[in-house]
Amino acid sequence: MVPKYTTHPSSVVIEALGRQNPPGWAVKQRHLIDLMDRAARFFVERYTRPDGTLIWRGRWPGMDGSDDGYESFVSFPLFYIVGGGEHVHELARKEWNTVTRQFTEYGQVYREFDAYYDWMHHGESYTYTYYLGLADPNHHIDRRRALRFAAMYMGQDPEAPNWDPELRMIRSPINGSRGPRFQMSAEDWVTHRPVLAGYLAPYEDIPGFESADPLAIVDWNDDRAFEQILKLMNERMVPGDVPLNLNATSLITHAFLYTGEDRYRQWVLDYLRAWAERTARNGGITPDNIGPTGQIGERMGGKWWGGYYGWRWPHGAWIILESTLIAGCNATLLTGDPDWLDLHRSQGDLLWALRKEEGGQVVVPARYGDRGWFDYRPLNPVHYVHSGFLSQGDLDRRRIQERFPGGVPWQGGSRYGKAGSFSPLPWYAYIEGQNPAFPDQVLEDTYAGLSQRLERIEKDNGDPETWDVHHWQDLNPVIPEGLIQMTMGTPGAVYHGGLLHASVRYFDPKRRRPGLPEHVAALVPRISAEAIELTLVNTDPLESREVIVQGGAFGEHRFTVARYESVPGVERKVTIDSKHLWVRLGPSAQAHLRLGMRRFAEQPSYAWPPFE
């Protein structure tokens, strides 16, 4: 490789010349992109009608389900922004619109947004729109839709009065385009009762079903039990605010990324600050239920626990950690200040302080109930990985080193999550130098997952009238998260509504679109607070390729310098001072770059770089 650089009207251009055999990971990466391009069409043709609607039943009751429709295709725009074909972008938009229309007919969606549900499921749904924003920020309908949705949570939509500006609270855990829901009906839960029948009871004092065991299960399929459960949930859980609603900060940040208007930033900061103040009033523990007048435990007899998706039910501490993480990440993006992650950090520190040893391993409580902390489990490193990646701070790094002295446990367990998401742990171990086989392994896992899904599709001869609403999520063969991790230097988005925070993203100046150009592969092997390492490979031995590298998914980071070897052993250094860098790759050329970076030096935006 004999790289050189020239100036460009908008940035520096580094040129890499000299044919080399491409590394195996680069060839596999490009092969997988080609396979997913084809598999996307195959999946859509198999499971949708010509108008894009799911081939499925004519009626679906309750308030649950539209999120699962969106999740079935949420990987399409994500794949497009890493380099998937234009037809995938077109299919992504078509399927968002048709899922919206289909679930409007079912009665769950109203004005293109869920009529009412919680922000775990809203987060699953509207991650799709966040990826569409990255796919094309100039799409007028998307932009207008983002601002309408934000208005529903900022007190600007009289049909959806979800926000109380005086108390700085979302008025119910069940909310949406019809506003806050203060009374849940039996029909709202009809499709979820069989699922929740296997969970612990939401309360320990359900009349007729009391138990001294905090993990006791009460069967939601039992009509008598369900009647009592629903009565108590309506009395205690609604109306009022819950930490889960912090996931709505992504929706408001989404509007900011289109407009840059400060009112969106201030809403996010004000809402996160309100929860920090409630936590301080509660002795450092984030309360999981705020009553309609803003009081902690107002509907729970003064208890700070027992709220909807709170410390006890259904998932416990994990949701408190996840929601505070999502909001903290959004506030960090909007301000450049990682101290906004402190609320999230404080809850992780709280659980760590309550640790004990069982069976030779350290465990922390996952839940709190009337009898105190219970359900002790091994510490989950996933939230630590996300906050540590975003902040790149010494204190976050020390937390990981202290709590996982042998490194994060990345071996064993499932690499796949819901709807094709990947565990961030093998990736994190790789950028920390502990898992050198990651590039090849994640590509092999992706290929295996794609093949398994295609095999299952070919054998899927069931009756659509009998399919569950989750049927398609684990059949979708477009599973790009491993590609996203290795190319963009990111653990991926926090699943229930987080934005895609990343080290870099790519644009193709020839086709004037996001994503890696044809035949170009990328790998981010190291990340630090001041720099990243990046390898770009042109797998085409016949033609040159150009790629624009952007600092951060939203252009929030500024490159300072680029270091690379012009000849073996001779390092060159180029000043960049821009959030964009052009790289021109000759036929079969490779560029190995160390890019200095000032993190959060630019205002984040969905905007594309200039292509001329």
Q: Residues 126-139: what's their mean pLDDT?
A: 98
pLDDT at 120 over 90: yes
By DSSP bridging, strand 109-110 and strand 113-114 are antiparallel
Q: Residue 340 gets which letter from DSSP? A: G
Q: What is the 3-state secondary structure (H, E, C) of 86-112?
A: HHHHHHHHHHHHHHHHHHHHHCCEECC
How many domains, in total, are found in the chain?
1
Q: Helix, strand, or coil here: 14?
A: strand
In a domain, 507, yes or no: yes
Distance CA 566, CA 302 (A): 67
Distance CA 381, CA 401 (A): 11
Q: Is the dihedral of CA 439, 442, 448, 454 positive or negative?
A: negative
Q: Looking at residue 567, which CATH number applies to its domain?
A: 2.60.40.1180
Residues facing 15 on adjacent strands: 4, 584
- What's the confidence (pLDDT) of residue 414? 65
Of residues 90, 16, 8, the one with CA closest to residue 572: 16
In a domain, 513, yes or no: yes
Q: Residues 17-23: what's their mean pLDDT?
A: 94
Q: Taking all residues of the chain, what is their mean pLDDT, rounded to a whole number?
A: 95
Report pLDDT digits (tens) over 321-362: 999 999 999 999 999 999 999 999 999 999 999 999 999 999
Report pLDDT digits (tens) over 482-531: 999 999 999 999 999 999 999 999 999 999 999 999 999 999 999 999 99
| Distances in whole angstroms, Cα of residue 240 to Cα of each of 169, 304, 365 | 8, 13, 26
pTM value is 0.97
Which tokens go with 215?
């993990």
In a domain, 557, yes or no: yes
Q: Is-contact 587 19, C-beta < 8 A?
A: yes
In a domain, 550, yes or no: yes
- What's the confidence (pLDDT) of residue 3? 47
In a domain, 233, yes or no: no
- What's the confidence (pLDDT) of residue 5? 43
In a domain, 453, yes or no: no
In a domain, 359, yes or no: no
Q: Residues 174-192: what's their mean pLDDT?
A: 97
Q: Is-contact 453 476, C-beta < 8 A?
A: yes
Of residues 157, 150, 110, the one with CA closest to residue 133: 150
Give me the domain span that covers residue 545: 4-22+503-598
Which residues, in sequence order, are CB contacts of 287 under 8 Å at separation 6+?
278, 279, 296, 297, 304, 305, 307
pLDDT band (50, 70, 90) for residue 2: very low
pLDDT band (50, 70, 90) for residue 89: very high
Amino acid at 548: I
Q: Residue 581 gets which letter from DSSP? A: E
Neighbours of 462 (CB within 10 A): 9
Q: Helix, strand, or coil here: 209?
A: coil
pLDDT band (50, 70, 90) for residue 568: low
Report pLDDT digits (tens) over 535-548: 999 999 999 999 99
Q: Is-contact 289 172, C-beta < 8 A?
A: no
In a domain, 528, yes or no: yes
Which residue, chain included where needed, has tokens 């870099």?
504
- What's the confidence (pLDDT) of residue 12? 85
Which tokens go with 12?
């520096």
By DSSP bridging, strand 580-585 and strand 12-16 are parallel
